[in-house]
């Protein structure tokens, strides 16, 4: 994982604000040990919140200081000051108590305990490292999954587009009219589909270059020698088969390149393809 990306993800801010999950905290604390950049970023974020606390400071009532000190003295008096004494007792107990799994050889229980402690520490370090590895792994898997999902979506779109073409081409009530390139653009091709009953016109571009950003292809029907606009084709849409206008009695279709949104009359020198019914 890129460390810059990691820092920019907001994980450090979430951590200092107390928003990070246990898992995220574990990873971050592990990373900061070996990465001065992350460590610095954490310290900076903490220092912002320190400044924030200083700025929002409110003086407490004056009498509280002695109240609190009295409370602290009281609590300290209840318990013995030294913490080393109970610890010693505890250690002695450890030695005299019967171990759950009696050692087979002459090694003293205390020494065995030390070995367990060492082993446990090694296991802990290994487990932290493994966790880090797993979380990295998980991220890689998630990225792969995301790219597969995108691919799947693209495949579905491609399939839908093919299917709508196929359905149209095989529908006996739909008339297909190929529009072929004019002299200047012999390779270009588009297809018009006309539902005979409803007179609804559909259009697909089979081989047309992507129009410049401020321009769009416009479909025209030629009715009694006059061009009638059937609308513009949206090349940014996912659907390749697009619904155009309804036209009753057309003799031919043509496509011109017009300004975005279409023109009231076709620009004849920008005519790319045409086809007669």
Partner 1 sequence: MFQLSYNFIFLSQAILFLNTQVKLSEQEIVSLLLQQDERGFNYLYDNYSAAIYGVVTRVVASKDYADEVIQDVFVKIWKNIAQFDAEKGRLYTWMINLARNTAIDYVRSKGFQNEQKNQSIPDFVNDSNQYSTTSNVDHIGLKDVLAQIKQDWRELIELAYFKGYTQQEIAERLDIPIGTIKTRTRNALIELKRLLKDYR
Binding site for partner 1 (CB under 8 A): 8-14, 16-19, 21, 29, 33, 42-61, 64-65, 67-69, 71-72, 75-76, 81
Nearer to partner 1, 56 or 104 (CB): 56
For residue 52, the number of C-alpha atoms closer than 13 Å in the C-beta half-sphere is 8
In whole angstroms, how close is the CB of 75 to partner 1 at the nearest point? 6
Question: 143: helix, coil or strand?
Answer: helix
In whole angstroms, how close is the CB of 26 to partner 1 at the nearest point? 13
In whole angstroms, how close is the CB of 62 to partner 1 at the nearest point? 10
Nearer to partner 1, 48 or 141 (CB): 48
Nearer to partner 1, 55 or 236 (CB): 55
Nearer to partner 1, 58 or 210 (CB): 58
Query: Residues 276, 263: contact at Cβ < 8 Å?
Result: no
User: Which residues, including other chains, have CB under 8 Å from residue 123's CB and lie 6 or more apart?
Assistant: none
Instruction: Give the full edge-to-edge strand order of the sheet including 215-223.
Output: 226-233, 215-223, 252-259, 271-276, 174-181, 189-195, 200-207, 242-246
User: Which residues, including other chains, have CB under 8 Å from residue 36's CB and lie 6 or more apart?
Assistant: none
Nearer to partner 1, 21 or 265 (CB): 21
Distance CA 269, CA 274 (A): 13
Compute how many other C-beta atoms are within 10 angstroms of the C-beta atom of residue 27: 22
Distance CA 135, CA 141 (A): 10
In whole angstroms, how close is the CB of 234 to partner 1 at the nearest point? 29
In whole angstroms, how close is the CB of 135 to partner 1 at the nearest point? 15
Nearer to partner 1, 53 or 98 (CB): 53
Secondary structure, 3-state, 22-35: HHHHHHHHHHHHHC
């Amino acid at each position: 994982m890129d460390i810059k990306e990691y820092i920019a993800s907001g994980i450090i801010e979430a951590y200092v604000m107390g928003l990070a999950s246990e898992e995220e905290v574990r990873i971050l604390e592990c990373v900061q040990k070996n990465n001065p950049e992350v460590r610095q970023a954490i310290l900076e974020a903490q220092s912002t919140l320190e400044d924030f606390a200083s700025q929002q400071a409110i003086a407490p009532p004056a009498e509280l200081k002695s109240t609190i000190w009295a409370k602290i003295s009281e609590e300290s008096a209840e318990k013995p000051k030294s913490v080393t004494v109970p610890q010693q007792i505890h250690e002695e107990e450890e030695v005299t108590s019967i171990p759950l799994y009696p050692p087979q050889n002459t090694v003293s229980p205390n020494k065995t305990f030390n070995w367990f402690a060492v082993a446990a520490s090694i296991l802990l370090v290994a487990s932290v490292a493994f966790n880090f590895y797993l979380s990295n792994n998980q991220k890689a898997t998630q990225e792969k999954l995301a790219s597969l999902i995108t691919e799947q979506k693209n495949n579905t779109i491609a399939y839908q587009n093919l299917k709508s073409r196929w359905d149209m081409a095989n529908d006996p009530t739909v008339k297909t009219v190929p529009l072929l390139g004019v002299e200047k653009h012999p390779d270009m091709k588009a297809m018009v589909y006309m539902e005979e009953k409803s007179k609804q016109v559909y259009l697909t571009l089979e081989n047309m270059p992507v129009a410049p950003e401020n321009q769009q292809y416009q479909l025209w029907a030629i009715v009694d020698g006059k061009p009638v606009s059937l609308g513009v084709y949206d090349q940014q849409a996912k659907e390749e088969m697009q619904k155009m206008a309804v036209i009753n009695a057309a003799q031919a279709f043509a496509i011109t390149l017009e300004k975005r949104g279409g023109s009231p009359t076709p620009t004849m020198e920008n005519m790319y393809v045409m086809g007669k019914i």
